[in-house]
Every structure is written in C-alpha cells, then in structure tokens.
Structure 1
C-alpha cells in the first residue's frame, strides 16, 4: 500500500511537472536561440532534469542517470518525458473518476439514498445494479492500475536511457577510476614498504646490533663468556619475537590456514584493550579481500588503542549484497581526521581493492570506521 501511495504521488507530481515543462517549452526554445540567454536556459534545463531525476529516484524507485546531466541530454530527456507525464496524469484522472463512480454507487446502495450520478431521476441503487457494474468496474480498475505501473516503468526507463552516461563517458570514467586505483595501489605499496622498513629498523635491526655487540664482548672477555652468551641468547629470543611480530603485521599465516575470523582473533589477542569480534561470513572471501579487510581492521584497532582513549572496540564483519563489510567502532573521544596519515593510508588500501571507505568520528565519539570490499 505504501508503494502504491508513493507511486501515485510520483505520477501526480510527474503530470504536474510535465504540464509545466510543456508551458516552458516555447520560452526555453526561444532563449536557447539567443546567445546571451543560452547559459541561463541551459542552467534551467539541467536543474529541471535534476529535479525530475530526484522525483523518479525517490518516489518511483528509479536508478541511474546523472544529477547534473549535460544540457543537450537534459533537454532531450525533458522533451521526451512530457507525453509520458501527461499520460500518467490521464491514467490517474480516469482512475479517480472510476473510484468516484464506485464510491457513490456503493454509498447509495448502503444508505438507500438517491444516487448522485443520476440527477434527473431519483434512482436508488439496488444490489442488482451493483453486481452489474462490479465486473466491468474490476476490469477497468485493473487496467488503470496496470497503466499507472506501466507509466512508472516508462519513467524509470527514460531516466536510465536518456540521462545515463554514454558508453564513451562510461569508458572515460572507468579509465579515470582505474588511474586513481593504480595510484592508490602504488601509494599503498609505498606505505607498506615504509612501515616494514621502520619496523625492521627500529626493532629487529636494533636487537641484532645488540646481539652482535654481546657476542663480540664475549670473544674479547673469555672470563665473562658464559654471562654474555646467556644475555645474547635472551636477546636472540627477543629478536625472534620481534621478527614474528613484524611478519604477522605484514601478513598473518592464520589468514591462509584458519581464515579471516581466526586472523581477527589474533588481532583481539594482541590488542592492548578489549576487542569484541563478530565475524559472520557464509564463505571465505578471496585472498586479496581477506588481506585488505584484515589490514584495515588491524590498523583501525591499533589507531583506536593509540589515539582515541577508547576502553573497548567492537569489530563486525559481514557479507552484504556480495560485498564484505567491515565495521570497527570504538568508544573513544572521537574527532578523528579522515585525511590524517593513518586513515588516509587505509582509504588508499581500500580504494586499491575497488572498495569504499568511510570514517564517522564526531567530537565526543564514537568513531566508526567502515570498509566495503567487493568479493566478485
């Protein structure tokens, strides 16, 4: 019922705008012929086409089209949809007349008062007369509703065909998207390389230097060799732990052996604050998607622990319409800047996988980081 009400509202509004566009057709055509008035006329045409697109999308369930189409395409669309809008108005008018006829007929039959449609003679409707009109009335009602639905589909079709980008525009847009994606991939790889180099330099390399110094002292001081070798052994153990941490941050082995849920459990175990993981996946996503999702979640949890002052982090991973959606929510102070280094790096990582990345972090919190990754 709500859908029919929305469709009826869309068709009524479409009939009104079609009538307005018909009245504006001649002035707009004249203005387009005058060079001084052409920019204003083109702006008006584009604005009207944008409003029509919004009407169809909101009320008639249409998709596609451009919010600001080129003037030539907008003009062609408006000229084409005028008869469609007027047809919708005619169908709704006939439907209204039929419903009025049926309502007065039933009212006269129920109240046994003269039928208002018969003004010359005081006719009281009988059950036989109601039955006489019932069958053709039901058929006409069906045809009117089918006609209204057909006009609504026609409106959606015109929107998709006349306001949608051309094949050349789609190819151009795709090339631009691929260029941005390539740049994002290069930037993400550079960020990853710098992060690995920093981890190795600040952690593993320093410990290896300390290990070499201890072994060198043991050679120079044989009398303290046992003590220094024991210290070197401890340093070697710490180096191995540090190296395992670095390799885990690069790509955890659990992603391949146990899947994304197992890898995320390791994120929760290593986090310095409580992390609740809810991973509901009917099937394991592709390896590239798993890796990107794990990296985003791991970095988002790390950022929350370091910068937000959060006491808890909730992670939810689910499959929605063929896309993996990962949401990381913390109860920190908020105010995170999406353009900052860490979050900007995550955005580039997601863009490299043709995904969508959003950050909602009002002052006072909470901060919600969402990444959507296509699995096809």
Structure 2
C-alpha cells in the first residue's frame, strides 16, 4: 500500500528536524567550552574583540543550521556581544538535546537486550524464567519511554528555535521595513489586478456584447430596406432573438464584473449560483458560521469563479468540488477538479488570482501534477 504524500512530507520533515537537532547537540560541546574559556578571556581587554568575533562565528553556524533543517529565517544582522550572550543558553539547550539522544541510544540498546531475553523465555535482566505479564509490562514501559523521548526531542527543538528567534529575530526596524516592502508589493499587485480585470471586461464586451449589437443593427437595417413583408418579419424575428442573446451576454459580463448576490445574499448563494451556471457538475460545501467581511467574500468568490472557468476551458474535468470554510487562520477556499492537471500558477488566470489574494494578505497555492487532480487553495486572514 503506497504511503500518502502528506505522510511522506511529514516524515521527511521529522527526519530533517531530528538531524538538525543532533547536529546542534554536537556543536553544543564546542560552544560550552568556548563560553567557559571565552568568558574567562573576557577579563583581558586585548582578547575581548577576538572572543566576541568567535562567538559571532559560532552563532552564525547555529543560525544557518536552524534555517537549513527547520526553515527558520532569522536576521543576519546582530551584534557580536549579543551572539556571546546567545551562546550561554544555547549550549545548555544543546547539551540537553545531547542527553536526550544518549538516553534514546541507551534505551534502544536495553530494549534490544530485553526483547532477546523474552524470546528466549527469560525474565528481563536474565536468570529466572519469564512470567506471563513480563512481555505486557515491557511493552507498556517501552511505549511510555518512546513517547517521552519523542516529547523530549520536540521540546528541545522548540526551545532551540524560540531561543534563536529571541536573539536573532527581526528588530522593530526590520519588521517595519518588511511590512513597508510587503505593502508596496501588495499595492503593485492590486494595480495589476485591476488593470487585468479592466482588460478582461473590455475583451468580453468587445468579443461578446459588441458583436451581438452589431449583428442586431445589421438585421434591423436589412428589415428596413426589404420590400417583402414576410422577409422583413423573419428578419425582425432574428433581430429579436439576437437582442435576447445580447442581453444574456450582458448579464454574463455584469455577473463576472460583480455578482449582485454577494451584496444582497452573501457568499453561499453567490457560490450556489456559480455552481448552477457551470457546464461541469459542481459539488459545493460551505461551512461559514458567520458571514465574512465583504472584501473577503469578494476575493473568495472570484477565486472560485476563475478556477471554475479555467477548469471548464482547459482541464477536461467531469467534476469540480468547491469547499469554503472558516479555520483558525481565516477563510479557506479550495477548488478541486479531476481533470488532466498541469495547471501553472504563473498562467494568466491563476497569476491574476494570486495577485488578488496577495493584495488581501492571503496565501495562494496551486497543486496540479500531470494527470491531476488540480487543487487551488486560497487562505485569507479574517479577524
């Protein structure tokens, strides 16, 4: 039975984190002796600068380790004195991690020996024959020790990361700079998204409604010029049908610009109307105990609408699932289809959605392996 992709990703992340913690446990010994002897050397003024410089080198090793194995991106701009102070609690956490690894190795060795003795009919520790409850007791204690060992590793990793964030985390100025940069990028994305919408509306009007109206005008002109009453009646009938089609196209364009159901009824009825108008069967699930803000509803609707449109045009799908729910982060909308896959987040429609979601400080994710399924997810923060 194949292992699910989510499980494989979790196992890889756990193994990578364990390796990073083990490396940190080994570097803790060097840091302990450096703090011990370096602290004594600080009493000599001439040695202070080299000691602080060495502390910066060791701290940089730790910062890069956390970034590589845990994905923590901390600032590279920090004072050398701060690096020396960081090494004091850091070596304690590292030695604690080393102690946990040693206990795991000893426990593993003891478990192998006890298991061997039980299979040979001996009680744990050897000697007397095993009682009936010895395997059960050994299994329960073994499970308890494994649980405690895993909790110890998780706790040590959490302490390691929090300690680094405390000393290497971005300063207030760095946070402000990042926020200004994010706002500038968001503003540019909003402008680009608006321009993209304007171009799409113009294209829909030019290729749809305008062509219908031109055809209507030609039919009416022919009806005026003809001298045959029967022919004129037939042309007027065609003109009437063409006017109905033009009205339908105009309704479609106005719905794509902004569905009035969003204002009057909310997100759920708007998504239901989207599902009814789709040429591919759409299965809708909405779990929103409270109505989100209007700006969030608008983004969620257009993400679903554009994803459904792309699926109908390009995916050759037979089913579309739309899920909108509220979680601890905000409002999450997920659109899944069983089409051919291969959709690119950098494509015209999806890149426009990514800009629209980014403008609302949200996250936009596209997973579309060849052969499908395609999953488009948007997570929008909602207070």
Scaled by the length of structure 1, the TM-score of the pair is 0.69
Match of 2:87 among 68, 71, 82: 82
- Residue segments in structure 2 that go unaligned for 5+ positions in a row: 1-18, 103-153
Q: 1:153-205 deviations in whole A, cap 9, x for unaligned?
A: 97666433321111111111111101110111011001100110011000100
Match of 2:285 among 263, 278, 296: 278
Measure the CA separation in 1 of the matches of 2:381 and 2:337. 25
Measure the CA separation in 1 of the matches of 2:308 and 2:96. 59
**Structure 2 vs 1, CA of residues 173 and 217 (structure 1 numbering), >3 Å: closer, same or farther?**
same
Name the counterpart of 1:340. Answer: 347
Q: Does structure 1 residue 354 correspond to structure 2 residue 368?
A: no
Match runs of 1:212-251 below 5 Å: 212-224=217-229, 225-251=232-258
Q: 1:192-240 deviations in whole A, cap 9, x for unaligned?
A: 0011001100010011111111222222225343332222211111111
Measure the CA separation in 2 of the matches of 1:348 and 1:71. 31
1:313, distance to aligned residue in structure 2 (A): 1.1
Name the counterpart of 2:274. Answer: 267
Match of 1:70 among 49, 52, 76: 76
Q: Could you tell which deviates more after superposition, 357-366 or 81-90?
A: 81-90
Match of 2:261 among 241, 254, 258: 254
Measure the CA separation in 1 of the matches of 2:163 and 2:195. 46
CA contact (8 A) 2:287 2:326 kept: yes
Name the counterpart of 1:48. Answer: 62
Q: Select the structure of larger CA radius of gyration.
A: 1
Name the counterpart of 1:159. Answer: 164
Scaled by the length of structure 2, the TM-score of the pair is 0.68
Instruction: Please give the secondary structure, in 2, of the residue aligned with 1:335.
Output: coil
CA contact (8 A) 2:335 2:376 kept: yes
1:356, distance to aligned residue in structure 2 (A): 0.6
**Structure 2 vs 1, CA of residues 42 and 15 (structure 1 numbering), >3 Å: closer, same or farther?**
closer
- Residue segments in structure 1 that go unaligned for 5+ positions in a row: 1-8, 59-65, 97-148
CA contact (8 A) 2:96 2:156 kept: no
Q: Does structure 1 residue 205 correspond to structure 2 residue 204?
A: no
Match of 1:181 among 177, 186, 200: 186
1:70, distance to aligned residue in structure 2 (A): 1.3
Measure the CA separation in 1 of the matches of 2:57 and 2:90. 22
Measure the CA separation in 1 of the matches of 2:158 and 2:58. 26
**Structure 2 vs 1, CA of residues 246 and 91 (structure 1 numbering), >3 Å: closer, same or farther?**
closer
Measure the CA separation in 2 of the matches of 1:264 and 1:254. 9
**Structure 2 vs 1, CA of residues 309 and 68 (structure 1 numbering), >3 Å: closer, same or farther?**
same
Measure the CA separation in 2 of the matches of 1:13 and 1:54. 11
Instruction: Please give the secondary structure, in 2, of the residue aligned with 1:321.
Output: coil
Number of matched pairs:
302
Measure the CA separation in 1 of the matches of 2:313 and 2:81. 56
1:18, distance to aligned residue in structure 2 (A): 3.4
What is the alpha-carbon root mean square deviation over aligned residues? 3.8
